[in-house]
């Protein structure tokens, strides 16, 4: 039940928190993007005006009327591209495929180019800036094509920016959700206590209350320590090995109350490895798995031993328990202990960690963990 409730709680938090965070981010993003658009519009058309003046000065006499004509062209160009942008947003062209966008860009650019040339031509005639006799159908065509090309260039920049932005946005959102899902899986996989263990432990303590009150008190203390540890690691990504071993000792002591002489255990921890951080409840899960599928099924019970060794950049953990496993059943196993361990190691360490479980000899099973040590 604890497992299910934690999963539901985490899902609820994800569904509530991430959309809210996304909305705040989107609002700030929209403000920054509008400001960037205005800056780029002003800078782009200003640069076009400067280049046009420079080019005109090389081929013709530069007068204030001609400069005014260029400024007028840039002003109406800025206005029409702004209207063009609003049309793009309203029709949601960004969501279309390239096959549908390209003809729309060409058509719109030609239309805007014709309008711009018509307006600037009319202004030039009214202000008598250029000699009307110099205009021919060929020069009109060239002027229209040139202005249409400017709009096409503007469109390419606009759509390229949005495609790149949407690609990065999708990539970031994918990473955010991937990280959220990963965190959800890790929290879910850290199902702290097996409900069956809790049930058995409480029944064992209940039986001891009259027979051995002092031992019952000690068992309650160990159960309390184990629950405190479970609450402490609720949001922890890693814990020192020494703390994990103390929790395992509390667990084994409680199980010994139930199994009595049928359960024996010994723990041999390398002194240097005690400070190494490991995923919480990982050893606990494997120890519980060994008792449930090995020792508890044997009439005479058995032994479980834990040994750790710090070797260079790797921490080696060996858990040996009495019992035997069927390799064919192991390959198809979806049991809590084995699948949980494999999944968590894969999520946290990728291919840097190793886990294997096999029959150690004719009477024992070996579960071995190799975890990379982080400096």
Give the position of tokens 């947003």.
Answer: 89
**pTM for this model (two decimals):** 0.53
pLDDT of residue 2: 34
Name the strand (E) or helix (H) holding 278. Answer: strand 277-278
Rg (C-alpha) for the chain, rounded Å, is: 37
Asked if 241 and 308 count as a contact pair (C-beta separation under 8 A), the reply is yes
pLDDT of residue 320: 95
Please state whether beta strands 302-311 and 354-359 pair in parallel, antiparallel, or not at all (unpaired).
unpaired
Cα gap 82→37, rounded to integer Å: 10
pLDDT of residue 302: 93
pLDDT of residue 183: 63
Cα gap 121→138, rounded to integer Å: 14
Q: What is the pLDDT along the chain (375 residues), one digit of tens a residue?
A: 333 333 344 444 444 444 544 454 555 555 577 888 888 888 888 888 888 888 888 877 777 777 888 888 889 889 999 999 999 889 888 888 888 888 999 999 999 989 988 888 887 777 666 555 555 677 778 888 988 999 999 999 888 887 887 777 777 777 776 666 566 555 555 554 556 667 777 888 887 888 888 888 988 998 888 888 877 777 677 889 999 999 899 989 988 888 889 999 999 998 888 889 998 888 988 898 888 888 988 989 999 999 999 888 899 999 999 998 877 666 665 555 677 788 778 878 888 899 999 899 989 999 999 999 875
Cα gap 361→364, rounded to integer Å: 5
Asked if 363 and 292 count as a contact pair (C-beta separation under 8 A), the reply is no
Name the strand (E) or helix (H) holding 314. Answer: strand 314-322
pLDDT of residue 15: 47
pLDDT of residue 129: 62
Name the strand (E) or helix (H) holding 13. Answer: helix 2-59
Q: How many CA atoms lie within 13 A of 13 on its CB side?
A: 11
Give the position of tokens 């606990």.
Answer: 284
Which tokens belong to 113? 């180019």
Domains parsed from the chain with CATH numbers: 2-189 (no CATH), 195-372 (3.30.565.10)
pLDDT of residue 332: 60
pLDDT of residue 68: 84
Cα gap 33→368, rounded to integer Å: 53
């Amino acid at each position: 039940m604890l497992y299910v409730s934690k999963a539901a709680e985490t899902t609820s938090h994800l569904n509530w928190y991430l959309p809210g965070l996304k909305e705040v981010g989107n609002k700030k993003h929209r403000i920054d993007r509008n400001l960037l658009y205005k800056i780029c519009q002003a800078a782009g058309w200003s640069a076009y005006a400067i280049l046009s003046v420079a080019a005109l000065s090389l081929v013709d006499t530069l007068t204030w009327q001609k400069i005014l004509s260029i400024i007028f062209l840039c002003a109406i160009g800025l206005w029409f591209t702004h209207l063009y942008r609003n049309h793009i947003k309203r029709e949601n062209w960004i969501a279309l495929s390239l096959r549908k966008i390209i003809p729309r860009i060409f058509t719109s650019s030609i239309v805007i180019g014709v309008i711009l040339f018509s307006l600037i031509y009319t202004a030039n005639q009214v202000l008598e800036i250029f000699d009307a006799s110099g205009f021919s159908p060929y020069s009109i065509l060239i002027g229209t094509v040139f202005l249409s090309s400017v709009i096409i260039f503007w469109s390419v920049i606009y759509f390229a920016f949005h495609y790149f932005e949407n690609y990065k946005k999708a990539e970031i959102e994918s990473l955010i959700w991937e990280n959220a899902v990963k965190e959800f899986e890790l929290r879910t996989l850290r199902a702290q206590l097996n409900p069956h263990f809790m049930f058995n432990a409480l029944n064992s303590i209940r039986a001891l209350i009259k027979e051995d009150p002092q031992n019952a008190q000690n068992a309650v203390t160990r159960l309390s320590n184990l629950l405190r540890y479970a609450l402490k690691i609720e949001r922890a990504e890693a814990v020192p090995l020494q703390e994990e071993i103390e929790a395992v000792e509390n667990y084994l002591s409680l199980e010994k109350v139930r199994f009595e002489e049928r359960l024996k255990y010994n723990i041999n921890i390398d002194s240097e490895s005690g400070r190494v951080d490991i995923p919480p409840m990982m050893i606990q899960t494997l120890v519980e798995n060994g008792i449930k599928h090995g020792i508890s099924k044997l009439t005479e019970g058995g032994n479980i031993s834990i040994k750790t060794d710090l070797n260079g950049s790797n921490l080696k953990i060996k858990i040996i328990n009495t019992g035997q496993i069927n390799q064919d059943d192991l390959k198809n196993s979806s049991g809590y202990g084995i699948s949980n361990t494999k999944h968590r190691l894969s999520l946290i360490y990728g291919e840097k960690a190793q886990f294997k479980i096999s029959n150690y000899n004719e009477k024992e099973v070996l579960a071995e963990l190799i975890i990379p040590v982080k400096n």
